[in-house]
Chain A
């Protein structure tokens, strides 16, 4: 009799605790939101009860009026409909919720569909012959030293570098008379670029 009473009491206690857990929103929270969404305190801002997070809920804040204006790496949003396929939340404040797990893509999907070919076709269109799917870096590859000065073997100067306006701005900036340079040295990349990072320029000022 005594044992039955104790067991019944324990069951009632456990049931009460479970009901409290169910009603306490924080108990179900799988992890902190990222810094971008940290201001959201109410779960229902994104989660529709019994439905979850829908694309419509994301689009309430993240509207895409003109996807065509995006940089090429982001244009695939034009065709992709479900935000949660790539974006996952509750991974911690410092989590990068915009990172894309490339292993989820179809193996036949062309990289150039989203990425710009910085080699401009010099190495063909099979990016995966050299690049991995989880990292853009090529394992074991060591870039030739800067004094090698054979950049043009692999790199092609973008079209902007051949425009007179581009060079005139640079020459003006360096206070060099434009008539002193007849032809811009677009193949002599080492004047401005470093070998360890392409977008890092030797110049100390902003362009």
Chain B
């Protein structure tokens, strides 16, 4: 059985393939036909279902396994794909063009933001785990050296360096290795700060995704209203 993540990856691939169809396919009769309209309505329902996730997250404060993000992504991708099929790659009116673009931008902002944010978050977690392990190791070594040097237990690491180097009992190789580890620790600290800043930058994708989604649903309402106002061909 396919994992949820794989299903979403296939859905994203399907959406991209559908989009590329705009280069060599257009059918003006399809969007207004009964089947075309049905697919448009179904796609809109799926896109509305994608709103369940932010509603549960923001209003009901349900997070994690109680409110899986995977379903939000799947509903969004299925809805967007059905809407692209409904359009039959005909985007001639201003509303049509804007709506089509907003669908693409919502999917693009959602998927790329999710992908990069997830990567940054994962990297940050890994860096923090390595940092903690290295810090523990250095702390243990410092305690050993303290015992060997019979010095007081200073909490300031930077003060230790000259004492270690000048200690007559410390082996030269051990000192070099210890210095190397301290250097790695400093690099890890820098890296963590960098990834934390990057995480803040990428957290703005969420706002961009939100704005595009609001625009999409507003345009969807306009599209539905104008379609009914000027007449549903398949209904007549």
What secondary structure prevails in chain B residues at the interface with A? helix
Please report the C-alpha to C-alpha distance between residue A39 and residue B98 in the assembled complex, in whole angstroms. 27
Chain B residues near A30 (CB-CB < 8 A): 28, 90, 92-93, 96
Knowing A22-B225, A50-B228, A84-B236 are in contact, say whether A11-B214 is a contact too (CB < 8 A).
yes
Nearest CB to that of B210 among chain A residues?
A7
Are the C-beta atoms of A88 and B236 separated by less than 8 Å? Answer: no
Chain A residues near B233 (CB-CB < 8 A): 52, 84
- For residue B29, CB closer than 8 A to chain A, the reply is yes
| Most-contacted residue by chain A among B93, B215, B222, B226 (CB, 10 A) | B222
Q: Chain A's nearest CB lies how many Å from the CB of B50?
A: 18
Contact of A51 among B90, B210, B231 (CB under 8 A): B231
Knowing A7-B210, A10-B211, A30-B93 are in contact, say whether A22-B222 is a contact too (CB < 8 A).
yes
Q: Chain A's nearest CB lies how many Å from the CB of B59?
A: 15
Are the C-beta atoms of A28 and B231 separated by less than 8 Å? Answer: no
Residues 7-46 (chain A) with a chain B CB within 8 angstroms: 7, 10-11, 14-15, 17-18, 21-22, 24, 26-31, 43
- For residue B221, CB closer than 8 A to chain A, the reply is yes
Knowing A14-B218, A47-B231 are in contact, say whether A88-B29 is a contact too (CB < 8 A).
yes
Interface range on chain B (Cβ under 8 Å from partner): 20 to 34
Q: Chain B's nearest CB lies how many Å from the CB of A18?
A: 4
Knowing A31-B92, A88-B29 are in contact, say whether A43-B214 is a contact too (CB < 8 A).
no
Are the C-beta atoms of A29 and B236 separated by less than 8 Å? Answer: no
Are the C-beta atoms of A18 and B219 separated by less than 8 Å? Answer: yes
Residues 184-223 (chain B) with a chain A CB within 8 angstroms: 207, 210-211, 214-215, 218-219, 221-222
Contact of A28 among B28, B29, B211, B230 (CB under 8 A): B230
Chain A residues near B93 (CB-CB < 8 A): 27-31
- For residue A91, CB closer than 8 A to chain B, the reply is yes
Total chain A interface residues with beta-carbon distance under 8 A: 31
Are the C-beta atoms of A21 and B230 separated by less than 8 Å? Answer: no
Chain B residues near A14 (CB-CB < 8 A): 211, 214-215, 218
Which of A's residues lie within 8 Å of B, judged by CB? 3, 7, 10-11, 14-15, 17-18, 21-22, 24, 26-31, 43, 47-54, 82, 84, 88, 90-91
27 contacts between A and B (CB under 8 A): A3-B207, A7-B210, A7-B211, A10-B211, A10-B214, A14-B211, A14-B214, A14-B218, A17-B218, A18-B218, A18-B219, A18-B222, A21-B94, A22-B222, A27-B95, A28-B226, A28-B230, A29-B93, A30-B28, A31-B28, A31-B92, A47-B230, A49-B229, A50-B229, A82-B236, A88-B28, A90-B92
Q: A24-B94, A30-B28, A82-B236 are in contact. List 14 more A-B contacts (CB 8 A).
A: A21-B94, A21-B98, A22-B225, A28-B94, A28-B230, A29-B93, A30-B92, A31-B92, A31-B93, A50-B231, A51-B236, A54-B236, A84-B233, A84-B236
